[in-house]
């Protein structure tokens, strides 16, 4: 029995089972011998004494094993606590891993865009910052690239020059004068075709490209040409002034 108890390969449960079985058989043997004690005398006494010694020995082993069981229960409790802690840490690690992956994605896209920006900067021509800011201010002031904050549907402002702006300019002035001239000629002599007047005007231009330019603007639909041309000429002077004011100031810059 000692070998069984000291055998480390057997589990505690198995050892307890074996001990209890042996104790059970010994008890039965003792009881049967006591029951049959009347038939034989000395043999049975020795055997009974041996059996009782054996029973006591196994009872001691049993108590030892129960001590061992208590120790092992304590160890199992500790193990369970550790397993729970491991689970918690595992969950935390998974959360951190997802955060890390998100951060990696965000950073990789940010790094890529930063690299693109840097390559743009390297490729770009450098200008003094004052020039850039002045140009940006010019673009922003006429809302050519970014809409005004209070723009709604039905607002006539546009990111390109509108009809009104075009009529105010040099092209509009030229076309107004042409149409005035045509009206005067048609009033003077109603038989002359307006097309021939335009055709006669063509060869006097030094470059044929300007023919297309001067007749490209639509003739105005209103009749108050004299009143309008005064306004347009005054506004044209303003646009001339604003168009060339930047050149006057820019010529002072060291570009």
Partner 1 sequence: MSDDLIQTIINDDRQRFLLDLEFVQTLANPQYLNFLAQRNYFKNPAFINYLKYLLYFKEDNYIKYVRYPQALYFLDLLQREQFRQELVNATYCRYIEDQQLLAWQRLQRRKNQLLNNATGLAASSSTTNNNNNNEAETPNTQNSTNAISTSTTTNNTQLR
Residue 229: closest CA among 166, 178, 173, 180:
173
Q: Please, what is the minimum distance in Å from the beta carbon of residue 195 to partner 1?
A: 14
Q: Please, what is the minimum distance in Å from the beta carbon of residue 244 to partner 1?
A: 8
Q: Please, what is the minimum distance in Å from the beta carbon of residue 147 to partner 1?
A: 4
Cα distances from 118 to residues 109, 114, 121, 127, in angstroms, run: 14, 6, 5, 16
Of 65 and 175, which CB lies nearer to partner 1 in the complex structure?
A: 175
Backbone angles phi, psi at 168, to 5 degrees: -75, -25
Contact assessment for residue 64 and residue 5, using Cβ atoms and an 8 Å cutoff:
yes
Of 85 and 253, which CB lies nearer to partner 1 in the complex structure?
A: 253
Q: Please, what is the minimum distance in Å from the beta carbon of residue 233 to partner 1?
A: 11
Nearest-angstrom CA–CA distance, 57 and 61: 6
Of 70 and 117, which CB lies nearer to partner 1 in the complex structure?
A: 117
Of 42 and 184, which CB lies nearer to partner 1 in the complex structure?
A: 184
Nearest-angstrom CA–CA distance, 64 and 72: 12
Residues at the interface with partner 1 (CB under 8 A): 117, 120-121, 123-125, 127, 129, 131-133, 135-136, 138-139, 142, 144-149, 151, 158-162, 166, 169-171, 173-174, 177-178, 181, 201, 204-214, 216, 218, 240, 243-244, 246-247, 250, 255
Q: Please, what is the minimum distance in Å from the beta carbon of residue 102 to partner 1?
A: 19
Cα distances from 203 to residues 16, 172, 174, 179, 189, in angstroms, run: 126, 21, 17, 18, 22
Of 50 and 162, which CB lies nearer to partner 1 in the complex structure?
A: 162
């Amino acid at each position: 029995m000692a070998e069984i108890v000291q055998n480390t390969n057997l589990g505690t449960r198995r050892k307890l089972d074996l001990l209890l079985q042996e104790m059970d058989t010994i008890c039965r043997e003792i009881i049967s011998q006591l029951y049959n004690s009347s038939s034989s005398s000395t043999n049975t006494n020795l055997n009974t004494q041996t059996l009782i010694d054996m029973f006591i020995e196994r009872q001691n082993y049993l108590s030892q094993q129960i001590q061992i069981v208590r120790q092992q229960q304590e160890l199992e409790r500790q193990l369970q606590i550790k397993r729970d802690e491991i689970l918690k840490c595992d969950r935390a690690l998974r959360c951190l891993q997802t955060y890390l992956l998100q951060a990696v994605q965000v950073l990789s896209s940010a790094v890529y865009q930063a690299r693109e920006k840097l390559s743009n900067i390297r490729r770009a021509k450098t200008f003094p910052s004052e020039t850039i800011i002045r140009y940006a201010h010019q673009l922003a002031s006429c809302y050519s690239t970014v809409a005004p904050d209070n723009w709604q549907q039905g607002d006539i402002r546009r990111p390109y020059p509108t009809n009104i702006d075009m009529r105010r300019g040099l092209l509009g002035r030229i076309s107004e004068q042409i149409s005035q001239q045509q009206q005067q000629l048609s009033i003077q002599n109603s038989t002359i075709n307006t097309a021939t007047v335009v055709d006669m005007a063509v060869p006097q231009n030094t470059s044929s490209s300007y023919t297309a330019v001067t007749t490209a603007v639509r003739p105005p639909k209103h009749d108050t040409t004299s009143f309008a041309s005064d306004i347009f000429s005054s506004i044209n002077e303003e646009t001339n002034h604003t168009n060339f004011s930047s050149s006057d100031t820019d010529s002072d810059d060291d570009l």
